[in-house]
Amino acid sequence: MNPQWICKRCGFSDELSRYYWRCPRCGAPLDLSYEVKWSPRGTGVSRYSSMLPIDPGYLLGEGNTPLISRDINGHRIYFKLEYLNPSGSFKDRGTSLSLYLAKKLGYKIVVEDTSGNTGISVATYASALGLRAKIYMPRTAPRGKKAVVEMLGAEVIETGSRHEASIRVLEAINQPSVFYVAHTWSPLYTSGAETIAYEVYEQGFRKGTVVIPIGSGGLFLGIVRGFTNLVELGLLDDMPQIIGVQGYSVHPVYRELYGRSHKGSSNLADGIMVPNPPRLTEIVSLIKKYKWGIVLVGNNEITNALKNLYRMGFIVEPTSAAALAGFYKALRQGLVTGENILIPLTGSGLKTIGTIIQLSLNNC
Ligand SMILES: Cc1ncc(COP(=O)(O)O)c(C=O)c1O
Ligand SMILES: [Zn+2]
């Protein structure tokens, strides 16, 4: 069967030869339905094309990231170096699938509203595939990020606020030639993140605990779906334990799960500050189903974990350090059941030099 878009809420379905960023009938996030087969071949994200809705080929070296282990507090930690992807974050996995589909369907212009890693990732893959990219960013987004996006040949459209960026992008997608990437909605981004589970499986991580920073939850859902497929195909006996990490400033999953909120600041981890994740219900029901958990972290804990990561030689951004901070916290709370711990280090510190300068000026 050819891959199909499906809406789990209203039953809508259609072929992948048409593109939707969300359900055209009820507005829910869509999923992709297709048969999977375990037959890894080649390298990078494309190595798992038999488990994916489309095969993007090997475009810029996405995926195939190293898994490096260290002993911390009596646990063996496996750091998955996702920040070594072509544009410096795990987003490249999903972007390679999404923009490859845009190209295949004949779109010429791709648009996205983001001030974060996805903007640079979309601009990077648009250049590689010969697509025009327009990235809507709030005026306050770091100058360096805008410069990199422009250097990649994309157009930066500045807006007053993050909210205005998401409104302006919706105006732009009224034209038929425009492909809205919509990474927080897109099942292509969760499919991309699934390949992290496939890689660590092949790299020898077979059981334990996975600590995942949650913003929109694409990374979380992708890794969960990847492990679910490995279990369903009989390659793994059990699901790993999963611990999600959110910040004090913004934590919709924690609030929905435990029915309470927390005060404090975690704005250093801007990649996980997503107030309304489109797939919130699914994330929460998976955590309940498997009796997993969420921990919250704040700026001090993030800074501390960031320092530890740099001392180990991992040049990551603060959002990635939130995952290690979350692991320390989960340990203190007695939540960790696995001996082997997988922590994806999601984004490169070389894109957040401004923050690093600020932290070192503050003598951290
Ligand atoms: C570096 C980094 N880590 C983690 C995340 C969280 O990923 P998701 O939005 O898929 O939950 C993001 C999202 O932008 C990110 O940029
Ligand atoms: Zn629907």
* Residues 153, 253 within the same domain: no
Residue that is last in its domain, among 180, 201, 227? 180
Q: Say how far apart CA 19 and CA 29 lie, in whole Å.
A: 13
Consecutive sets of 10 residues in the chain, 364 residues long: mean pLDDT of each?
95 97 98 97 98 97 98 94 98 98 97 92 98 93 88 95 87 90 98 98 97 98 98 98 97 97 94 94 98 97 96 96 98 95 97 84 67
Question: Cα–Cα distance between 228 and 99 in angstroms, integer?
Answer: 26
Rounded Cα gap, residues 218 and 292, in angstroms: 17
Structural contact between residues 94 and 359, judged by C-beta atoms closer than 8 angstroms: no
Ligand 1 binding pocket includes 219 (Cβ within 6 Å): yes
Residue 116 has a pLDDT of 86
* Domain assignment of residue 227, yes or no: yes
Neighbour tally for 65: CB within 10 Å: 25
Tokens 């992948």 belong to residue: 16
- How much distance in Å is there from the Cα of 168 to the middle of ligand 2? 24
Do residues 351 and 256 both lie within one domain? yes
Please report, for the domain that includes residue 208, its CATH number. Answer: 3.40.50.1100
pTM metric for this prediction:
0.97
Consecutive H or E run containing 3: none
Ligand 1 atom closest to the CA of 117, numbered from 1: 16
What's the 95 CA to ligand 2 centre distance in angstroms? Answer: 24
Q: How many domains does the chain have?
A: 3
Per-residue pLDDT, 302: 97
Range of the domain at 171: 91-180
Cβ–ligand 1 contact at 252 (below 6 Å): no
**Structural domain contains residue 55:** no
Q: Where is the domain boundary, 126, 159, 180?
A: 180
C-beta of residue 334 within 8 angstroms of C-beta of residue 68: no
Domain match, 321 and 265 both: yes
For ligand 1, whether the C-beta of 346 sits within 6 Å is yes
Ligand 1 atom 6 nearest Cα? 215
CA 118 / ligand 1 centre spacing (Å)? 9
Q: Are residues 112 and 8 part of one domain?
A: no
Measured over the CA atoms of residue 10, residue 15, residue 19 and residue 21, the dihedral's sign is positive
- Ligand 1 pocket, residue 272 CB under 6 Å: yes
Read off φ and ψ for residue 230, nearest 5 degrees: -65, -35
326 lines ligand 1 (CB under 6 A): no
* pLDDT number for residue 363: 64
Q: Whose CA is nearest to atom 3 of ligand 1?
A: 346
Residue 218: CB within 6 Å of ligand 1? yes
Cβ density class 150-176: b for 16+ within 10 Å, e for less: eebebebeebeebeebeebbeeeeeee
Distance 243 CA to ligand 1 centre (A): 15
> Counting atoms of ligand 1 from 1, which one is nearest the CA of 118?
14
Using a 6 Å cutoff on CB, does residue 266 contact ligand 1? Answer: no
